[in-house]
Structure 1
Amino acid sequence: MSEPEEELQEEQRESTKKKKKKKKKKMRKEKRSGRKKEEEEEEEEKREEEEQVEEEEEQSECVVLRGIFKLGKKSHDVLLTRTRLTWTPIMPETPTGEASTLEPGVLLLQDVLAVKVKRRRAAGQESGGAVLGVALFCCRRRGRRLEEDTLHLHNASAEHTHTWYNTLKELLTGFRSRPKYLKVFINPSSHKKEAVHIYREHVAPLFKMADIRTDITVTERKGHALSVMKECKLDEYDGVVCVGGDGSVAELCHALVLRAQLDADSPEKPVQPVLPLGIIPAGSTDVVSCSVHGVRDPVTAALHIVLGHQQQVDMCSFSSLGQLVRFGFSAMFGFGGRSLARAEKKRWMPSSRRREYALVKTLARLRPEDCQLSFLPVKKSNSVMFGHRDQDQDSDSGEPYEAESWTTNEGLYLSISIMSIPCLTTHAPQGLAPNTSVANGTASLIAVGNTSRSEFIKHLKRYSSSSGQFNFSFVEAHAVSAVKVRPRSLIGCSEEEEDEEEDESNNEGDSKITPIIQSEGAAFPWNIDGELVEITNEVLIRVHPRLITLYGEEVDEAEMPMSCSCI
């Protein structure tokens, strides 16, 4: 190859290298500019979102209507925005020319459940009449209770009144979570058989005032609500309401999840129901209602439903040998299961006496269960399970839980409780499981080992006080995502023979108690949400975070703490 040709090739190689370098530089510039564009676009989107939020806030606080109304005997300047109603007395100037200043009254529209036109009517007159103004039916908070209240705005002008009435009605329809059509189940056998009366006297008037239509089913037997829920057209309703005790609530929650699985064609995996459930307490303990309302008050529960207060709540699935037993919130094995089994045999007694009898009788014949307890613990950074819930580490913070490996213990247990909600009651104002909340994705496992009767009673009595029920060497408390309980049946005497040993056991003093000798193949009593369920084999409990939506709002403590009369 000649020298000119070599020089030409060398020049071509260099030019190719330069082109590649230029191309790379260009690509890097394009990448940098692309990143800048993406960052600029993201910043622009953020600015637009912030501006939109500010604009919405400004619009919500913009005055929609302004007028003069009388509240009582005084005239007031009334302002209406999209979120609130404020009224200020119109006061004359003082002799010095200074206007007196008074704090305006405020009513948030989120607390208004209905608005009506006030009219003057003669006796027996059902329609028409002179316009007097508008009445706003609202709720006022008194502690954990919600109480019905009314704000009367008087103005004799029909045109003025109807303008305000129509505007208020339009603003109230903007609360999308408020129901318009409800499916209601009433258990007439709950507790003192007052469920029908409670609904008619305290709940139905509020639903009627808020223009809520209802489809009512009065249950006739156990499982009636479940069978109705499997067949009815749920897409017609905005929610489901249960008027009854914990057993009725558990049945409807179970039915809602099963129906959601059926509609989603998902037989294996639990599916979150579309409809929320409202609970009107009419039972003896109303644990679930207390946990989402803080009080056993039907008016408070009804107002939560009317105003559309909703929260998602954790649930558990209970299964044995791969077969689903039911969905629920809590389960007790050992003392809790056996006391309920004894109470069920005395159904002819009044409910309060039946519970006390069963509790005292089970304490007198207290025996531990020999079983294998396995659990899948979870931990949250910088948190401790023992003691009360840490308000700074609430489940809503979104902090993830870390799953650990299975832990297995074998031994004698007087009581094993698994609860996915705090289980607040008047006897345990901070809950049977104060370490958990209604939606933190875990359950509280409380395992009480074998100990003397007197020590066990001390443990029970501390539930009625502020704390200390876990400060015993024989009590364990864990945050868990799953639990397995496998009773170890021993061939020996039957329960009838156990009853014959009562006198002998009472003479044993405070020494640790010998285990129950279970006959082979016998079923063990479980207390699942206040319902007696007898299961022969191992039980697997799994926590399903925020599986169901209930009307209400989470509270930390139940109202009116009471001491248990039987301990």
Structure 2
Amino acid sequence: MIVDSARGDDAPIVVREQAHVNSWWKGGGTRSLTGSLQLTRETLLTHDKKDRRTAAFLTWSHTGSHRGQTASTKKIRHALSIKKKPKGHRTIRVPLERCYAVHRTNHSILPAVYRGSSPSDGGGSMSLPASLALKHIAPIEDIGDAGQFADKLAQTTQALQQEEKPDGAEQADVTLHLVTVFGLRQNGLRSRHRAWTFAFPNDATATAWTLWLRQEIYGQDGMPPRQRLLAILNPFGGTRSATRIYRQIVEPMAQLAGVTMTLVETERSKHATEFVHALDLSLYDGLISISGDGLYHEIVVGGRKDWDVACQFPIGIVPAGSGNAMAVSVDQPTPELAMAAALCAADHMHACSLGDVRPMDIMAITSLASREVYYAHEMVTWSLVADIDIEADRYRWAGPARFTMSAVWRMLSLRQYKARIHYLPNDKQPASGHSEHADAASTALPSNRPPLKYTRFCHEGEIAAATPPALPDGWHSYEGPVAHFIASSLPWISPDTYIAPTAGISSGHIDLVWLAKPDHALQLLPVLADDGRGDYLKSPHTQWHQVRAVILEPLGRVRDPQLQGIMDVDGELVSCESLAIECLPGLARMIVPRWLDEAKVARRT
């Protein structure tokens, strides 16, 4: 039954409704309850209450009847005076934006999913890994392209109208027509794979709901927008779990969604950069990196000649490293959530599609000594955080705990540095007096590089001293002690290290934070143990600015200026030298989940 519902200001829109649908399976799938099923669309506010988004929900509500309990069972209960414990109103609410596949399924899925004792959320759903779900999928007709999907939907709708019975008529055996929705439940940084199974009155109804739900998840074509995905993984990165994650999570989920995967394993450092540099992008619809932030960095900085075309190619990340800052900052902290977003990502925002492809800021980094330009997507750090990040590699066997171990050791033996920092605030524009150099600066840059806007003056003149030319108007400068320096485009630089409240993948600026000389090492604890409120930024020793560009000139350690310290770009060790860093807003394209609320992820208050 299709319902056209009038909508209030924030009232859910009831798109479709179906009575006599069985679910809430008990007793290993042998018993179920009968209820009504609704497909609704709702308008949700973002965390900061500034934006709205539309999300689809599948809601099943118990109507009081049941199946599977015989009359003899009732007599035994009465004879033994066993009173059935009263139970509340049972409801299953499935957020379709975290679902990635819908299939007609065999009876074998019931004992596989709802086996043993009831799960914590009752008989609504239970964990079923995608690798185990494949054998329960019923064979269905190959839909083909978008046009064939539309024809199939029209034929099914016509058959459904012919088979509909008036209310009160005898229903067919509902257990013969199962539809299972595969998705995820998220709880903070954790998630679990879920399977929700519904039994419909007849075959036509079950097929129609399967097609309708696919439209809600994938868009009007009813198929994943990206049919060919390339996966690049580093089998030795992080905790060396990338290969297992691909075999047990990524590949089975892609098979459930009907997406073709191609796997490439890196064999050495910079292998991903070399591979992407020569890759024929027309062979694939998207690329996903299965590793930590290091491999993603290698992919993003590929340095192709057709950079303007390559920048439009969507790239996603499946966390399989130790830090996983990028995945955490886009609210896909587990491989399952990241893969669900990649399978349903669309270039154009559908009404209720799961994934999305959004612009991502890139930082262009210029070496003042060699004028070489390279790129970063996450952060540039020097002093404290760089020391912790790079020196943590000696504890790589400890997984994510290696950063905590390295931080404790560095706090006990704190290093003091000096530096000159120049920055252009986000509300400033370059002085008009320097616009005359725009053409000359652009021609001086390599043709296969995106043009620079705010740091072009650093490419003027001959390569000599590693110092910037005269600064344009609008720039600010600082010279003095520095215990902690970071230029970041992400709010989180690890799952438990919060750095910048206003940062985001497309914020259009760089969050610049540095800490002058603290009175004692304990004043650095809030930097490394912030709970997401950004309180450490209120310290009188902390400088925090949103900038378009920044120039860092390390002057070495206070006690020994010859020791320049460690410099870290996206978790990778680079030569410690004077750098000019500029934000290139929206240069790249990243696959992110449709449920991404950057205000919530960044904990803006």
How much does 1:406 deviate? 0.3
User: In structure 2, what is the Cα distance between the partners aligned to 1:77 and 1:371?
Assistant: 66
Percent identical: 21
Could you tell me which residue of structure 2 aligns to residue 545 of structure 1? 585
1:75 aligned residue:
34
Secondary structure, counterpart of 1:165 in structure 2: helix
Distance 2:218 2:276 in 1: 28
Q: Alignment partner for residue 535 of structure 1, among 543, 559, 576?
A: 576
Which of 371, 382, 386 is the aligned partner of 1:337? Answer: 386
Matching residue within 476, 487, 495 for 1:418: 487
Confirm or deny: 8 A CA contact 2:361 2:583 kept in the other structure. Answer: yes
Letter aligned with residue 22 of structure 2? K
How big is the shift at 1:434? 2.5
Alignment map for 1:251-266 (pairs within 5 Å): 251-255=298-302, 258-259=303-304, 262-264=305-307
Residues in 2 aligned to 1:167 and 1:319: alpha-carbon distance in whole angstroms:
51
Match of 2:553 among 460, 472, 486: 486
Could you tell me which residue of structure 2 aligns to residue 114 of structure 1? 101
1:236 corresponds in structure 2 to 283
Deviation at 1:221? 1.1
What CA distance in whole angstroms lies between the structure 2 residues aligned with 1:282 and 1:207? Answer: 17
CA distance in 1, matches of 2:211, 2:402: 54
- Secondary structure of the residue aligned to 2:492 is coil
Name the residue aligned to 1:433: 500
Match of 1:161 in 2: 206
Corresponding position of 2:333: 296
Which aligned pairs between 1:162-177 and structure 2 lie closer than 5 A?
162-169=207-214, 172-174=217-219
1:445 corresponds to which residue? 512
Aligned to 1:136: 181
2:513–2:543 contact (8 Å) kept in structure 1: yes
* TM-score in terms of structure 2 length: 0.62
Please state how far the C-alpha of 1:169 moved relative to its aligned partner.
Answer: 4.1
Is the 1:65–1:164 contact (alpha carbons within 8 Å) kept by the matching residues of 2?
no
Q: Deviations over 1:50-98 (max 9, x none)?
A: xxxx99x9xx968667564322433334456796655555568xxxxxx
1:366–1:453 contact (8 Å) kept in structure 2:
no
Give the Cα–Cα distance (whole angstroms) in 1 for the partners of residues 138 and 575 of structure 2.
Answer: 59
**C-alpha root-mean-square deviation of aligned residues, in Å?**
4.0
**2:538 matches 1:471:** yes
The correspondence for 1:368, drawn from 404, 416, 432, is: 416
The amino acid across from 1:444 in the alignment is D
Alpha-carbon distance in structure 2 between the residues aligned to 1:150 and 1:251: 36
SS at match of 1:161: helix
How far residue 541 of structure 1 moved from its aligned partner, in angstroms, is 0.5
Q: Deviations over 1:394-421 (max 9, x none)?
A: xxxxxxxxx9810112222222111111
> Pick from 281, 288, 292: which aligns with 2:319?
281
Map Cα deviations across residues 241-298 of structure 1 (whole Å, 9 max, x no partner).
111112112222223xx34xx225x6xxxx77223222211111211111111x6322
Q: Could you say what secondary structure the match of 2:183 adopts?
A: strand
Q: Which residue of 2 aligns with 1:26?
A: none
Aligned-partner Cα distance in 1 for 2:299–2:91: 45
Match of 1:517 in 2: 561
Aligned to 1:6: none
How far residue 132 of structure 1 moved from its aligned partner, in angstroms, is: 3.1
Q: How far apart, CA to CA, are the structure 2 residues paired with 1:241 and 1:78?
A: 35
Residues 175 and 532 (structure 1), Cα distance of their counterparts in 2 relative to 1, 3 Å cut: farther
Task: Give the 5 Å matches for 1:39-78.
Answer: 66=18, 68-71=20-23, 72=25, 73-78=32-37
1:427–1:347 distance in 2 versus 1, CA, 3 Å? closer
Contact 1:462–1:469 at 8 Å: present in 2 too? no
Q: Which residue number in structure 2 is paired with residue 207 of structure 1?
A: 254
Residue 271 of structure 2: aligned partner: 224
CA distance 1:542–1:335, change in 2 (3 Å): same
The aligned amino acid for 2:372 is Q
Amino acid at match of 1:329: E
Distance 1:535 1:373 in 2: 15
Q: Secondary structure at the match of 1:445?
A: strand
Helix, strand or coil at the partner of 1:418: strand
Contact 2:104/2:137 (CA < 8 Å) preserved in 1?
no
Higher alpha-carbon deviation: 433-442 or 213-222: 433-442
Residue type of the alignment partner of 1:75: T
Amino acid of the structure 2 residue aligned with 1:113: Y
Amino acid of the structure 2 residue aligned with 1:482:
A
Distance 1:85 1:206 in 2: 21
Change (3 A) 1:412 1:214: same
Cα–Cα, structure 1 residues 312 and 105, in superposed 2: closer, same or farther, change >3 Å? same
Counterpart of 2:327 in structure 1: which amino acid? S
Task: Choose 129-138 or 224-233, whichever is displaced more.
Answer: 129-138
Give the aligned partner of residue 378 of structure 1: 426
1:543 is paired with a residue of what secondary structure?
A: strand
Which residue of the partner structure matches residue 316 of structure 1? 363
Shift of residue 440 of structure 1?
A: 1.9
Aligned equivalent of 1:408? 477
The runs of 5 or more residues in structure 2 that have no matched partner are 1-5, 26-31, 42-55, 66-88, 113-134, 141-174, 346-354, 429-471
**Does structure 1 conserve the Cα–Cα contact (< 8 Å) formed by 2:364 and 2:375?**
yes
Shift of 1:110: 4.2
State the 1:422 CA deviation: 0.7
Shift of residue 516, structure 1, vs aligned partner: 2.9
Deviation digits for residues 497-526 of structure 1, max 9, x if unmatched?
xxxxxxxxxxxxxxxx9443217xxx7531
Per the alignment, residue 188 of structure 1 pairs with: 235
Query: Residue by residue, what CA displacement relative to the aligned partner does 1:196-248 show, whole Å, maximum 9, x if unpaired?
Result: 11222233222221112111111111111111111222223222111111211
* Change beyond 3 A, Cα 1:67–1:550: same
Quote the Cα distance in structure 2 between the aligned partners of 1:373 and 1:91.
69
Aligned counterparts of 2:543 and 2:139: Cα–Cα separation in 1? 68
Query: Secondary structure of the equivalent of 1:463?
Result: coil
* 1:104 CA displacement: 7.6
| Aligned-residue offset at 1:425 | 3.3
Query: What amino acid does structure 1 have at the position aligned with 2:269?
Result: K
Q: How many residues align?
A: 433
Q: Distance in 1 between matches of 2:537 and 2:316?
A: 32
Is the 1:113–1:306 contact (alpha carbons within 8 Å) kept by the matching residues of 2?
A: yes
Mapped contact 2:249–2:335 kept (Cα < 8 A): yes
Bigger Rg, structure 1 or 2: 1
Q: Distance between the aligned counterparts of 1:127 and 1:105, measured in 2?
A: 23
Shift of 1:539: 0.2
> In structure 1, what is the Cα distance between the partners aligned to 2:287 and 2:14?
36
Write the letter of the residue equivalent to 1:373.
I
CA contact (8 A) 1:314 1:329 kept: no
